[in-house]
Chains A and B, each alone.
Chain A
Amino acid sequence: MSAMDSHISVQGVHKVFQSGGQDVYALKAIDLEIARGEFVCLLGPSGCGKSTLLNAVAGFSLPSSGHIVVEGARIGAPGPDRGMVFQEYALFPWMTVEQNIAFGLQIKGQPKAAIQSKVDSLLGLLHLQDFRKRFPKDLSGGMRQRVAIARVLALDSPIMLMDEPFGALDALTRRNLQDELLRLWTELKKTILFVTHSIEEALYLADRTVVMTYRPGTIKRDLRVDLPRPRDVASPGFNALKKELSLLLMEEQNRHEQDEFRGAAVD
């Protein structure tokens, strides 16, 4: 695929930061093309730069060099065309479920009636009708993440960025929301860039799983997952891929741990 047809195009991106007087490459020479409507997972151990890459696409922290092109335009700042779902939900606690979802639309300056009908349909889509007047503190983790997803969907952005959105949820809720997300993705045809450290989650969800290396953050493997959906996590095909990714990830995890031990020895 050429950069021309890509929805998101990451071109020669480096991200350098200083640590103890040394340059640390959080991202090094990253090239990544993501097609419209593609579901891509970034997979790797903590500290591999997958969140850094996601934040760069979101526009929260710009690359030290190289650039990121979305819809043919270079990214300079965060924007509602790339809605983000955070791991820690990040709902506004002083707003009700309804108000949280409506906030992005109010910012866009949409008329009240349009906002109301959009919010109503999203509440329905994510099964949140009975919770519209609740405050986030009264919701479970799974419910909060539904609201966070609805808040991003309200923006009608073609791209959804997700930063370990289900990392804090219990296994059942997690599977539930994964299925829900796949349903929404099929229905709404979004391009999704999804960060996770769970191999199973990546294989269950993604069209492509991009494995990243631990410092410097590079792309170790770009794996197309061709298993038919809904995917059976117990199938031989799934397990073969899982094993393959486990080995790749284990190498990175070991490098990460050695690095930490070295750090501890220096201290």
Chain B
Amino acid sequence: MKRYKHAASGILVPLAALALWQLLSAKGWVNATILPSPMQVLTKWWTYLRPLEAFDPAQGSYLKWCFSGELPQDAMGSLYRVLVGFAIGTGLALPLGLAMGYSKVVYALFNPLIQVLRPIPPIAYIPLSILWFGLGNPPAIFLISIGAFFPVLMNTVTGVQNVDSIYLRVGRNLGASRFTQFTRIILPAATPYIFTGARIGMGTAFIVVIVSEMIAVNNGLGYRILEAREYLWSDKIIAGMFTIGLLGLGIDTVMSRLSSRMLRWHRGLEQG
């Protein structure tokens, strides 16, 4: 019961904002080109979402048809780039982070370079990425992997460095080899940090995909809202923005569910 009450109160502010928005448009206080009415945005959203052509079994399955609209295609394009970029960035950051956290020598070797590169926003790599990779998916994926790389790296290093020494003492007492110490103690002990890094990295990847699509790719949600601006389709811009927001929320929810599931043992998540 309490849960429903909370859900109900959570809907109040969005409803009020929507009502205000509707009021502004209905009274004609704002130019419809600058801020179209909620209804107009919703209509446009539906047009953007639905398949362009009628269902034709010769063209493929029904499911495929359902996703043949412009918006699903854009969303899938963006999602694909995020996932590939994230996988590459994380795939590189994780082993390096583990090595840097574990070995003082590796840390001393890599840390200065990392510290210089880390503050460079992924966006600043755009010119170079286009120069190196041209247009299309490759530069976008390059940028996204940079965006995901640093948060995962930094958190992995911290996670490994902060493993409570008592666990290592227990491991030595039980006779664990260095390899077992690493795989069964250090790695699991560092996972809460690593998951936090992955979640931040995913968030960054999602920001970077939108920006990179505005510049280097000609499809995807980022490209679409920039394209809509050229035609002054503010309803489509807003529909696209909400889509980006919902997709981001969806990704973050999946990440957080996944980490609470894998970190059931962790104290910090009890209230989560």
Chain A residues with a Cβ under 8 A of chain B: 58, 60, 77-80, 82-84, 86, 88, 90, 92-95, 103-104, 107-108, 135-137, 151, 155
Contacts and interface: CB of A to CB of B under 8 A. Distances in A.
Contact of A60 (B167, B169, B185, B191): B169
Interface in B184-205: 184-185, 188-189, 191
A82 B270 CA distance: 35
B188 A104 contact: no
B105 to A, nearest CB: 23
10 contacts: A80-B175, A84-B170, A92-B170, A103-B184, A104-B175, A107-B176, A108-B175, A136-B265, A137-B266, A137-B270
A133 to B, nearest CB: 11
B52 to A, nearest CB: 50
B166 interface: yes
Contacts, number: 62
Contact of A79 (B166, B175, B191): B175
A98 to B, nearest CB: 13
B174 A94 contact: no
Nearest to A78: B172
Nearest to A148: B170
Nearest to B166: A90
Name the 9 nearest CB pairs between A and B, nearest first: A80-B175, A135-B265, A94-B188, A104-B174, A78-B172, A90-B166, A94-B265, A84-B173, A90-B170
B267 interface: yes
B173 A83 contact: yes
Given A60-B169, A78-B175, A80-B175, 16 more contacts: A60-B173, A80-B173, A80-B174, A84-B170, A86-B169, A90-B166, A92-B189, A93-B265, A93-B266, A93-B267, A103-B184, A135-B265, A136-B265, A137-B265, A137-B270, A155-B175
Contacts of A108: 175
A103 B174 contact: yes
Most chain A beta-carbon contacts within 10 A, residue among B172, B185, B188, B265: B265
B124 to A, nearest CB: 38
Interface string B44-72: 00000000000000000000000000000
A94 B173 contact: no
A7 to B, nearest CB: 18
B174 A107 contact: yes
Contacts of A88: 166
B103 interface: no
B264 interface: yes
Contacts of A151: 174
Contacts of A155: 174-175
B267 to A, nearest CB: 5
Contact of A92 (B169, B172, B180, B188): B188
A2 to B, nearest CB: 29
A161 B184 CA distance: 23
Contacts of A107: 174-177, 180
A65 to B, nearest CB: 23
Contacts of B175: 78-80, 104, 107-108, 155
A107 B180 CA distance: 8
B189 A94 contact: yes
Contacts of A137: 265-267, 270
Most chain A beta-carbon contacts within 10 A, residue among B167, B170, B188, B191: B170
Contacts of A58: 173
Contacts of A84: 169-170, 173
B173 A92 contact: no
Contacts of B184: 103
B169 A90 contact: yes
Most chain A beta-carbon contacts within 10 A, residue among B174, B180, B185, B189: B174
A151 B169 CA distance: 14
A210 to B, nearest CB: 22
A79 B188 CA distance: 22
A86 to B, nearest CB: 6
Contacts of A95: 265
Contacts of A82: 173
Interface string B157-184: 0000000001101101111110010001
Contacts of B166: 86, 88, 90
Nearest to A137: B267
A19 B206 CA distance: 52
Nearest to B188: A94
Nearest to B170: A90
A93 B266 CA distance: 7
B174 A135 contact: no
B170 to A, nearest CB: 5
Nearest to B174: A104
Nearest to A134: B265
A88 B176 CA distance: 20
Contacts of A90: 166-167, 169-170
Most chain B beta-carbon contacts within 10 A, residue among A77, A78, A135: A78
Nearest to A83: B173
